[in-house]
Chain A
Amino acid sequence: MLPFEFDAVFAIPRRWRKPHALPRSRVIYYNTPVLTLDSLEIRLGPQRRLQPPDWSLPAGATALLVGPSGSGKSTLLNVAAGLLAPAAGRVLVDGVDIAALKPAARDRFRGARIGVVFQSLRLVQALSVADNLALALALAGRKPDPARIRDTLARLGLAALARRRPRALSIGEMQRAAIARAVIARPTLILADEPTSALDDANAEAAFALLRAEAQACGASLLIATHDARLTAHGLPTLTLAGPP
C-alpha cells in the first residue's frame, strides 16, 4: 500500500483533476470505446468468480448484456458503474480506470458520465419528478437547466407530472421518469439493469424505444442487462455471460 492514493487521477493534468471536468468531445467517434472490459475478474461469492471476456462498447452504440439469472449481469453493471471494485483487471469508462479513482472522485465521475436505470429503483422518493432531474444535474456538477428538464419531460410525455411525487406515478410513468433522470446530465454511458422486466409489452417496447432514442439524443452509449426476450429479439450486439455451473 502506498502512503497516499497514487491513482490514475495523478496521470491527468492538474486542471482536469476533477473527473467530471475532463474534456469531452462534441464529436462522437464511433471507434473510440466508451466502456472497455480489460482482463476483468469479479468476485460473485466466496468461491465463484466472474471472468467476462475482454470487450468494449463503442461510443454511441447500444448493446445487450445477457445471461441466465445469477450469471452476474447486475454485478458486472455495478463494477462498470464504479459501485463495486473488481478483483482483478480494469474497467475503463471514457478511458478512465474507474476503480482507481478516489472514492469521492469516483462518485462525481459516475454522476457526470454514467446514467443508470434500474428495474425497480427509479427515483428519489422525497423529490418531485422535476426535482429528481434537477438533482441529477446538480450531482453531475452541471448548472441548473429548467429548460432542458422541461424539454426532456415533454419528450417522454411527463410534462404534466413534473411536480408529482414518484409514488403518485404509474410503473410505466415512473420508468420513463427514470430514463429522463438517467439522460438529463448527458452521460457518455447509460447502464440499464432489467429496465423493461416489470413492464407490460406495450410499456416495455415504449421504454426500450425511448431509452435508445434518449441515449442517441445525448450521444451516449447504452448497455442493457436483460433476460427479457422482447429485447433480445432486436438483434443488437450482445455480451453473453455464462450461467452458474
Chain B
Amino acid sequence: MIAARLIFAYLRDRPLSAFLFALLTAIGVAAAAALTLFAAQSEARLTRDARHIDLVVGHKGSPLQLVLSAVFHADVPTGNLPYAEAERLQRDRRVLAAVPIAMGDSVRGVRIIGAPNALFDLYDARITRGRAPQAPFEAALGAQAARQLGLDVGATFVGAHGLGDGGGAHDAHPYRVVGVLSETGAALDRLAVTPHESVWTLHPPATAGATLQVEHHDHAHADDAAPLRDPQSETTAILVRTRSPLFALSLKQEINAATPYMAARPAEETSRFFALIGQGAAALQAFAALLIAAAALATFATLLTALRAQRGDIALLRVMGATRLTVFAVLLGQGLAIAAFGALIGLALGHGAIEIFARVSPQAQGFGLTGFAFAPEEWIILAGALVAGALAALAPALAAYRTDIARTLSEAA
C-alpha cells in the first residue's frame, strides 16, 4: 500500500516530533485508562463482595457506613445492636440466613470478626485446612488473610484494638488458627473469623435497651435451638440473605419503620456510592479527555506546519501519479498513526501504573486491582484517541486534498 509506506516514511523522517506527540497522547490515554481500570475493578470487587448479602441490619446511622463497615470491611461500624435480633430475624420466613457479626479488632490490617460458623455458609466457603472454630479464641482465616499474615493452622496471633494499625494489643488473649477457608472472591477472604465469645470477652458490652421489633409472620417456623448465651450480649451488625431480593426490600422497609435499628441493602448503597464517587471520577475523566484533546491540538499544529514544509512533496507526489485521495490518506494517516501509537503506549502505561499501585499500596489490595485485566471501556478510550488524532489531521489532510498543484509548482519554481 503506497499511502501506508509514505505515512511510515514521513513519520520516520521526523521521529522525535512524532514520538513526542505520541507521548502527549499517551499521557492522556494512560490517565483515562488507569481511572477506568480502577473504577471498573473496584466496582467489580464491591459487587463481588456484596454478592451473598441482600440486607445488613445495624445501629442507626449512615446506611452507606453500615454497608461499608459490615460488608466491605472498609469503614468503622455505626454502633451495636442486641445479638438476639439475629435470632429473631432468622425466624422470619423470608430470611434464608441471618448472621450476626461483631467487629472491633484487627491483626495487621486483617479484621477479626466475631461470627457463628453460619457465616461460612453465607459466603459458600469451605474449610480447606483444619476445622471450623468452636471455642473462644480459636480462629479461621480467610484465604487471602492467611496469605497476607503468613499464618497457617496451629499458628497464634494477637489481636489489636481498633480496625487499623496502632491500637492497643490484647496480649492476654492470643488467638489460635484452627482452620483456613477456601477462596470465595468475597470479603470473607480478607477476614479472620472467631466465635462471638472471643469478642465479648475482650469487649464486655454495655447493656442494650432496645429490642428488635420485627413483625413475625410465622412463629411456628421459629427454630429455638439457639445455644445458651448472655441475652444482653451485643453484636455489631447482622448480615441477611433473603429467599428473594423482593423480600429484602420489604424487610428493609419494615425494619426501618418499626424498629430502632437500620437496614440497608448493599446493592443499593453500592450504586449510590458509585454515583457519589462517579462525579469525582467524571471530573478526572474530563481532565484525561482534555489531555488527549491537547495532544490532538498539538498534533494538529505540527501536521499543519509539516504540511507547509511538505507542500512541495505533495505537489511532486501528485505529479508522480498519486491521486488526491492518496495524499489525503497520507496526511490523515500520519495523525492516526501518531494517535494510535500514543494510545497503545498510553494503555500500557495505564495498566502498568495500576499494576504498580496494586503491588506497592496495601490499600489497593482491598480493591483487588490488577494491571493484567482489560475493561470494556478501554475500547472507548482507544476509539476516542483515534478520533482525536483523525480530527487533528483532518484539516491538514483536506488542505492537501485541495492543493492546487499547478499553482504550488509555479510557486516552488
B324 adjacent to A103 (CB under 8 Å)? yes
Query: Which residues of B lie under 8 Å from residue A107 when comparing CB positions?
Result: 318, 321-324
A126 adjacent to B406 (CB under 8 Å)? no
Complex CA distance for A108 and B2, rounded to whole angstroms: 13
**A-B interface pairs (CB < 8 A), number:** 92
B406 adjacent to A83 (CB under 8 Å)? yes
Nearest-Cβ distance from residue A4 to partner chain B, whole angstroms: 19
Nearest-Cβ distance from residue A141 to partner chain B, whole angstroms: 8
A116-B319, A121-B413 as given contacts; A127 in contact with B9, CB under 8 Å: yes
A135-B2, A193-B413 as given contacts; A181 in contact with B406, CB under 8 Å: no
- Any B CB within 8 A of the CB of A74: yes
- Any B CB within 8 A of the CB of A78: yes
Interface string of A114-150 (1 = CB under 8 A from B): 0010111111111100010001101110000000000
- Chain A residue nearest to B10 in the complex (CB): A126
A119 adjacent to B406 (CB under 8 Å)? no
Q: Of A78, A109, A112, A125, which contacts B409 at CB under 8 A?
A: A78
Query: Which residues of A lie under 8 Å from residue B320 when comparing CB positions?
Result: 110-111, 116, 124, 135-136, 139, 181
Query: Which residues of B lie under 8 Å from residue A116 when comparing CB positions?
Result: 319-320
Query: Which residues of A lie under 8 Å from residue B387 when comparing CB positions?
Result: none
- Any B CB within 8 A of the CB of A203: no
Complex CA distance for A152 and B324, rounded to whole angstroms: 29
A121-B316, A123-B316 as given contacts; A135 in contact with B409, CB under 8 Å: no
A125 adjacent to B13 (CB under 8 Å)? yes
Nearest-Cβ distance from residue A59 to partner chain B, whole angstroms: 21
A111-B322, A139-B322 as given contacts; A126 in contact with B409, CB under 8 Å: no
Total interface residues on B, using CB and 8 Å?
27
A140 adjacent to B413 (CB under 8 Å)? no
- Any A CB within 8 A of the CB of B325: yes
Complex CA distance for A81 and B316, rounded to whole angstroms: 12
Query: Which residues of A lie under 8 Å from residue B223 when comparing CB positions?
Result: none
- Any A CB within 8 A of the CB of B395: no
Query: Which residues of A lie under 8 Å from residue B323 when comparing CB positions?
Result: 103-104, 107-108
- Any A CB within 8 A of the CB of B6: yes
Query: Which residues of B lie under 8 Å from residue A118 when comparing CB positions?
Result: 316, 409, 412-413
Within 8 A of A (CB), among B314-345: 315-325
- Chain B residue nearest to A185 in the complex (CB): B321
B312 adjacent to A121 (CB under 8 Å)? yes
Query: Which residues of A lie under 8 Å from residue B316 when comparing CB positions?
Result: 118, 121-124
A83-B319, A131-B9 as given contacts; A194 in contact with B413, CB under 8 Å: yes
Within 8 A of A (CB), among B100-144: none
Complex CA distance for A194 and B413, rounded to whole angstroms: 9
Q: Of A111, A112, A120, A131, which contacts B412 at CB under 8 A?
A: A120
Query: Which residues of A lie under 8 Å from residue B310 when comparing CB positions?
Result: 125-126
Query: Which residues of A lie under 8 Å from residue B279 when comparing CB positions?
Result: none
- Any A CB within 8 A of the CB of B207: no
Query: Which residues of B lie under 8 Å from residue A169 when comparing CB positions?
Result: none
Total interface residues on A, using CB and 8 Å?
34
Residue among B9, B312, B317, B319 facing the most chain A CB atoms (10 A cut-off): B319
Complex CA distance for A136 and B409, rounded to whole angstroms: 18
Query: Which residues of A lie under 8 Å from residue B13 when comparing CB positions?
Result: 125-126
- Any A CB within 8 A of the CB of B75: no
B405 adjacent to A126 (CB under 8 Å)? no
Query: Which residues of A lie under 8 Å from residue B322 when comparing CB positions?
Result: 107, 111, 139
- Any A CB within 8 A of the CB of B361: no
- Chain B residue nearest to A126 in the complex (CB): B13
A116-B319, A121-B413, A193-B413 as given contacts; A126 in contact with B325, CB under 8 Å: no
- Any B CB within 8 A of the CB of A51: no
Query: Which residues of A lie under 8 Å from residue B406 when comparing CB positions?
Result: 75, 78, 83-84
Within 8 A of A (CB), among B283-325: 310, 312-313, 315-325
Within 8 A of B (CB), among A184-239: 193-194
- Any A CB within 8 A of the CB of B250: no
Query: Which residues of A lie under 8 Å from residue B313 when comparing CB positions?
Result: 124-126
Q: Of A108, A123, A193, A194, which contacts B321 at CB under 8 A?
A: A108
B413 adjacent to A139 (CB under 8 Å)? no
Query: Which residues of A lie under 8 Å from residue B2 when comparing CB positions?
Result: 135, 138-139
Complex CA distance for A111 and B319, rounded to whole angstroms: 7
Complex CA distance for A5 and B225, rounded to whole angstroms: 94
Complex CA distance for A111 and B318, rounded to whole angstroms: 8
Query: Which residues of A lie under 8 Å from residue B324 when comparing CB positions?
Result: 103-104, 107
- Chain A residue nearest to B408 in the complex (CB): A121
Complex CA distance for A104 and B325, rounded to whole angstroms: 8
Query: Which residues of A lie under 8 Å from residue B5 when comparing CB positions?
Result: 135, 138
B409 adjacent to A110 (CB under 8 Å)? no
Query: Which residues of B lie under 8 Å from residue A138 when comparing CB positions?
Result: 2, 5
A124-B313, A126-B13 as given contacts; A139 in contact with B409, CB under 8 Å: no
- Chain A residue nearest to B410 in the complex (CB): A74
Please report A residues at the B interface, Cβ cutoff 8 Å. 74-75, 78, 81, 83-84, 103-104, 107-112, 116, 118-127, 131, 135-136, 138-140, 181, 193-194
A-B residue pairs in contact (CB < 8 Å), sample of 20:
A75-B410, A78-B409, A78-B410, A104-B324, A104-B325, A107-B318, A107-B321, A108-B323, A118-B413, A121-B319, A121-B409, A124-B313, A124-B316, A127-B6, A127-B9, A131-B9, A136-B320, A138-B5, A139-B320, A181-B320
When A and B form their complex, which 5 residue pairs have the shortest distance between CB atoms, in order from nearest?
A111-B321, A139-B321, A126-B13, A84-B406, A107-B323
Known: A108-B321, A127-B9. 6 other contacts (CB 8 A): A74-B410, A81-B319, A108-B323, A110-B320, A118-B316, A126-B13
